[in-house]
């Protein structure tokens, strides 16, 4: 499984949805699981992004499909970063 960091910013519509139904975040996590994306950690943050999510998926295509699905809803903007474990990076540098 590959690890990804997803930085997300809610749109006006997304903020309205979360205000009316905060548990919607957990519902989306269940939807992600059905898409093959497992949420490992999730943080609400201050600054230019609203959330930081650490997720796992089998490949880039799975994460791309998730990103397209969520983005098409119009409630969130995503920035997805592939994360390479430091131990893997160090092995490649030997």
pLDDT digits (tens, 9 = 90+) for 40-85: 999 999 999 999 999 999 999 999 999 999 999 999 999 999 999 9
What span, in angstroms and rounded, lies between the C-alpha atoms of 40 and 56?
A: 7
Q: Residue 86: which pLDDT band, with cuts at 50, 70 and 90?
A: very high
At residue 94, the 3 state secondary structure works out as: coil
Q: Residue 92: which pLDDT band, with cuts at 50, 70 and 90?
A: confident
**Whether the predicted model's global pTM rises above the 0.95 cut:** no
Q: Which domains does the chain have, with CATH numbers?
A: 2-93 (3.30.70.920)
At residue 52, the 3 state secondary structure works out as: strand
């Amino acid at each position: 499984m590959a690890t990804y960091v997803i930085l997300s910013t809610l749109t006006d519509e997304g903020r309205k949805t979360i205000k009316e139904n905060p548990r919607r975040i957990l519902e989306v996590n269940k939807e992600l699981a059905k898409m093959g994306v497992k949420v490992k950690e999730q943080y609400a943050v201050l600054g230019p992004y609203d959330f930081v999510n650490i997720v796992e998926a089998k490949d880039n295509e799975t994460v791309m499909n998730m990103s397209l699905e969520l983005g098409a809803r119009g409630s969130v903007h995503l920035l997805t970063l592939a994360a390479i474990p430091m131990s893997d990076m160090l092995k490649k540098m030997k």
